[in-house]
Amino acid sequence: MSVSSHLKSLLPSREDLAEVKRHWKGDIPAGITTGVVALPLALAFGVASGVGAAAGLITAIVAGIIAAIFGGSRFQISGPTGAMVIILAPLVAQYGVGVIPLLSIISAVLLMIGAMFGTGRIISLIPWPVIEGFTLGIAMILFFQQFPNALGVGPQSSPNTLVAGFQAIGAASFPDALIPLAIAVGTAILISLFDRISPQFPGSLVAIIIVTIVVVSSPISVPDIGEIPDSLPAPQIPAMSLGLIEALLPGAISVALLAGIESLLSARVAAGMVPGGTYAPDRELFGQGAANLASGLFGGMPATGAIVRTAVNIRAGGRSRLSPVIHGLVLVVIVYAASGVVSVIPLSALAGVLFVTSYRMIPQDAIKQIFNSTRVDTLLFLITVVITVVFDLIWAITIGMFVAVMAILRHFANQSGVKHEFPTEDSRIRVLRIDGAMFFGVADRIQEEITHMQSVRVVILRLSRVGIMDATGAKALTDIVATLRRTGNKVLIAGLRTVHEEITESLGVVDAVGSHELFFDNMDDAVAAAFEIIREEDEEKARQEAEAQRAAEALQAAESKRRILKGKSLKNANDPATSPGDVLGQRMESTRERLRSLASASRKLASSSVKKMLKLPRLPKINNSKPDEDKKLES
């Protein structure tokens, strides 16, 4: 997607208006119901965060309407939430209420930048145990945060909510503190009873009305909300300076991160509650940024998508962006028409509302599932809960993500390794299948397993099951090939995935192997090539052995002849009775002996010839010969 197309996707479209036209009949009653349910929550969260009930109402109105128009979910209800209270309360205690609008604007800018850079998929990178641990931690903090109002004491000095809750118990004046505590507990009980009637029934609002009437009608005196404006303030840019912005930046990053995570999580849950429901992550971030910007300009507090109110909207029939807008308009009417009534609501009653809210935030089913899963997931969940309660949300997410990454790397490392395959009975061919991931966590171990081999001529590295390969893995593969070749092995590569070709070539794997021709797409071709290499090497070895044998035989014959000649020479040279004259006499005697032998042989040959002639048959008589001649012939 091009940059212009991405930016265009962050803005409202005609499809939004078409959805309103299709679903407006169901959206109007759903918006009214959601607005009534949101009123006590907006007041309670405003008071709990330290910015006041008026700021909570302004945020619910302004942020709710703007997020409905610009957000990425057509079901989302935005406004102040319990998670945001956890971050804002310490900042209000440190810098004062006046910095909250500026904090909201800075976080809005960060959210919009994140949307433009396409970071909306961040929710998918956070492990489920971290999110559930984060949610449980927020619920616990929200519960402890209500102790001061429930006991009728003011805000405590400790910035840590857990410590401040116990400080409130120590600061409470008993038995006077039992009155606001009874109001808080009574409100919580009424809400629980009314919620059994119907999930859409505004039990919180009805409970607050009943408790307020009882308190106002009785002589008891408890802290209340106090005066709130009967109209929305005019938008204005809050006072700012470079030093103040630098001081608020860490808090603004926390607010932006929390707003993004909670809004995306709520949008994803909402999409799953409606058949065919969808949401646009980047547009949701942009919409929350626009909502926080508007809230800051009107003097409100940071807002985020609210899972509880969004669920109420969907169950009441809300299906388009009209219902969140109606929710905001209902709150506007209440501000204009009932500001005097709202001002006398007891703070302890709002504490009771948030007691119920914190209890409902506990992910009971998820906790059971996590404890029934792996030990790593359980540990990850518990670490996130503890860090959320003891430190803060950002540290919880950061450390939770770190532990999750370490667990993932450990899992990859355990799944990765080298398997020996034997496609043939020829032990000179070895197939090594690398499974899992070739990354920095396992590269050294794989390299050690592969390079320790003996009596092998051809090694086939099968990489078809390598799903991940980083630079360290590719470098280790290069070193493996180089080591195998140094020990006299031929190396073939089979099944290298296309996505890994670039990194392996750039880090020298091809050069280490020797040629692209030694890379094969499948094992059959690689094994056939290995057999061909073995055959050629065997033929060459046989030829060399034959040549060596012939050379050895020739050398042995020459050596034997040399030894014989040398032995005769040494015998003659070492005999003292032998002189040159004797040698000559011996030779002459030998010659005479041979001549005598020849003469004897000649005589024997002649005698033999005569005997043969005597044995010749007689010739037949010839009749016409003369008598004298016949006698001569006979003689």
Whether 171 and 147 have beta carbons less than 8 Å apart is answered as no
439/210 Cα distance (integer angstroms): 63
Q: Is 212 exposed, middle or buried (0-12, 13-18, 19+ CB in 10 A)?
A: buried
Cite the beta strand spans of 476-599 per DSSP E.
490-494, 519-520
Is the CB of residue 36 less than 8 Å from the CB of residue 25?
A: no
Among 363, 438, 354, smallest CA distance to 141 is for 354
CB 393 within 8 A of CB 87: yes
CA dist., res. 44 & res. 353, Å (int): 7
51, HSE (Cβ side, Cα atoms, 13 Å): 36
Beta-strand runs (E) in 224-330? 304-305
The pLDDT assigned to 620 comes to: 44
pLDDT of residue 2: 77
pLDDT digits over 540-592, tens only?
A: 889 988 888 888 888 888 878 777 777 666 555 555 555 555 555 555 666 66
* Tokens describing residue 276: 């065919």
Looking at residue 618, the DSSP 8-state letter turns out to be P
Euclidean distance between CA atoms 323 and 313, whole angstroms:
7
**E strand intervals along 473-598:** 490-494, 519-520
Q: What is the predicted pLDDT for the residue at 269?
A: 82
pLDDT of amino acid 634: 45
* Nearest in space to 49 (alpha carbons), one of 309, 324, 295: 295
DSSP state of 97: G
Please name every residue paired with 459 in a beta bridge, in sequence order, or none if there are none. 430, 491
Rounded-to-integer distance, Cα 229 and Cα 292, Å: 21
Which pLDDT score, from 0 to 100, does residue 608 have? 52
* Residues of the chain below pLDDT 50: 609-627, 629-635
pLDDT of residue 629: 46
Give phi and psi for 419, each to the nearest 5.
Answer: -115, 135
pLDDT the model gives residue 624: 45
> What is the secondary structure of 386-427 as a DSSP string?
HHHHHS-HHHHHHHHHHHHHHHHHHHHHHH-EEEEE-SSS-T
Nearest to 222 by CA among 251, 186, 253, 196: 186
Q: What is the largest CA-CA distance in the chain?
A: 200
Give Rg (Cα) of the chain: 51
C-alpha 132/C-alpha 370 separation (Å) is 9
Contact 350, 56 (CB under 8 A): no
Both structure tokens of 201: 């029934």
Instruction: For the chain, report the end-to-end CA distance as a whole number of angstroms.
Output: 139
Which residues face 469 on adjacent strands? 438
Helix (H) or strand (E) holding 429: strand 429-438
Q: In CATH, what class is 416-532?
A: alpha beta
Neighbours of 137 (CB within 10 A): 24
Q: How far apart are CA 127 and CA 202, in angstroms?
A: 34
- 155-194 pLDDT per residue, tens: 776 667 778 788 888 888 888 889 999 999 999 999 888 8
pLDDT at 558: 80
Domain boundaries, the chain: 26-400, 416-532
Determine the residue type at 544.
Q
Quick one: which of 148, 144, 124 has its CA closest to 136? 144
Pairing of strands 417-421, 429-438: antiparallel
Q: Which residue has the tokens 């938008």?
A: 235
Question: Contact, 92 vs 51, CB < 8 A?
Answer: yes
Query: What are the tens digits of pLDDT across the range 309-332?
Result: 898 888 888 999 999 999 999 999
What's the rounded Cα separation, in Å, for the pair 499 and 356?
52
Question: Distance (Å, rounded) from C-alpha 51 to C-alpha 89?
Answer: 8
User: By the 8 A CB rule, do 281 and 264 touch?
Assistant: yes
- Alpha-carbon distance of 248 to 103, in angstroms, equals 6
Angle between helices 375-390 and 393-415 (to 10 degrees): 160
At 317, give phi and psi (nearest 5°).
110, 5
Length of the chain measured in residues: 635
Q: Distance between CA 55 and CA 233 in Å, rounded?
A: 10
Write out the two tokens for 355. Answer: 């007691």
pTM (whole model) above 0.95: no
User: Using omega within 30 degrees of 0 as the cis cutoff, is the peptide bond preceding 202 cis?
Assistant: no
Retrieve residue 275's tokens.
Answer: 């058949």
Answer yes or no: are the C-beta atoms of 358 and 142 closer than 8 Å.
yes
- C-alpha span between 313 and 623 (Å, rounded): 161
Check: CB of residue 145 under 8 Å from CB of residue 161. yes
Q: What is the DSSP string of 293-320?
A: HHHHHTT----EE-HHHHHHHHHTT--S
DSSP 234: P
- Residue 16's contacts (CB-CB under 8 Å, 6 or more residues apart) are 69, 74, 320, 321
Give the residue among 306, 329, 77, 44 at the shortest CA–CA distance from 191. Answer: 44
Q: Which amino acid is at 15?
A: E
